[in-house]
Amino acid sequence: MKRILLIATGGTIASRETGDGLAPGISAEGLLELVPGIEGKVRVECAELLSLDSTNMTPEHWLMIAGCIRKNYGNYDGFVITHGTDTLAYTAAALSYLVKGSPKPIVLTGAQKPICFDSTDSKENLRDAFLCAASDMPGVSIVFDHKVILGTRAKKTRSKSFSAFESINYPDLGVIRDGELLRFIRQSCGEEPEFSEALNTHVALLKLIPGTGREILDFLFERNDAVVIESFGVGGLPESGGFYECVGEWLRRGRIAVLTTQVENEGSDLGVYHVGHRLKEELGVLEAYDMTTEAVLAKLMWIMAKTKNAPEVEKLFYTPVAMDMFPR
């Protein structure tokens, strides 16, 4: 019988009603008691790591989760992490880099309704997560609404519906039907995971809107080692307002700029329009292509804890990890 470690971090799945709205209050053991049958199929032990609304999740907490996995990696066959849905995709992306190439399943799940509610998706999501954690599906994934989504490709696309997550620019790894895992893709892994213990949190995100001025970009570059710019469509920067000059100045000072798109599907292509072409060809701005914003941010934090040298950052950024981008 497979041994699985349940790592609890809080979230809606573990929440109760309070006078001020829902708040985490159910332990990992409490979750298991409300889903009979799981412990008859796998041996489960619990780690009560955090009790957070996932809005309060930070990179420091990602390192704590990765550290818990590292400490217990040799003792278990797989891991289930319960987590709030709002930042679940960020945590899944971060763990894909912090526990790179894991041959064991690291499965994140949560719920849109608390487990103590009569109408809840918690119990099915938990059962499905343990099924996947006891399988031979390696690496980091999110299991939600009977879908298995690669950790670097997940995005929350619905705020209330049970079908909260989608896989962006990549197929689902599998589905769970009638209590059986139907696997479509088995991601590659190493013989042992590569653990990382540091993140550089001086990475910022700017979402462009029509009329944005360069002073915001200057502000972010002044205080961060890298800035991700969510542009429009296939990507580019406004030709007015001094954006091009701003990016050029900060790149010459050693900062890193990555251009991505606000459009969820199909990714960026800076070569299409004049507003994007010269950014890449003349300035050397990095391009996110088909990556999710969550993966871009997590990957940059991971890379820039290793190096701030621009050529090295570029090489690592364009090296696919857990299929976070298609090879270029």
What is the distance of C-alpha 275 from the center of its chain?
Answer: 29
| Position 118 pLDDT exceeds 80 | yes
Every domain of the chain and the residues it spans? 3-195, 203-317
| Position 252 pLDDT exceeds 80 | yes
CA distance 153 to 290: 9
Start-to-end Cα distance in the chain: 42
3-state secondary structure the chain: CCEEEEEEEECHHHEEEECCEEEECCCHHHHHHCCCCCCCCCEEEEEEEEEECHHHCCHHHHHHHHHHHHHHHHHCCEEEEECCCCCHHHHHHHHHHHEECCCCEEEEECCCCCCCCCCCCHHHHHHHHHHHHCCCCCEEEEEECCEEEECCCEEECCCCCCCCEEECCCCCCEEEECCEEEECCCCCCCCCCEECCCCCCCEEEEECCCCCCHHHHHHHHHHCCEEEEEECCCCCCCCCCCHHHHHHHHHHCCCEEEEEECCCCCCCCCCCCHHHHHHHHHHCCEECCCCCHHHHHHHHHHHHCCCCCHHHHHHHHCCCCCCCCCCC
pLDDT tier at 299, thresholds 50, 70, 90: very high
- Residue 180: count of CB within 10 angstroms of its CB: 8
State pTM to two decimals. Answer: 0.96
pLDDT tier at 89, thresholds 50, 70, 90: very high
Residue 83: per-residue pLDDT: 97
Strands 99-100, 78-82: pairing is: unpaired
Average pLDDT over residues 300-304: 98
| Position 19 pLDDT exceeds 80 | no
Which residue in the list 12, 109, 261, 293 is annotated as catalytic? 12
CA distance 221 to 243: 12
Average pLDDT over residues 296-312: 98
pLDDT tier at 250, thresholds 50, 70, 90: very high
Residue 7: per-residue pLDDT: 98
**Residue in 58, 231, 88, 56 with CA at minimum distance from that of residue 157:** 88
pLDDT tier at 116, thresholds 50, 70, 90: confident
**Residue in 30, 34, 32 with CA at minimum distance from that of residue 4:** 32
pLDDT, tens digit (0-9, with 9 covering 90-100), for 37-62 = 887 889 999 999 999 999 999 999 99
Topology given in CATH for the domain delimited by 3-195 = Rossmann fold (3.40.50)
| Position 328 pLDDT exceeds 80 | no
pLDDT, tens digit (0-9, with 9 covering 90-100), for 133-151 = 999 999 999 999 999 999 9
18 tagged catalytic = no
For 203-317, give the CATH class: alpha beta
Average pLDDT over residues 79-93: 98
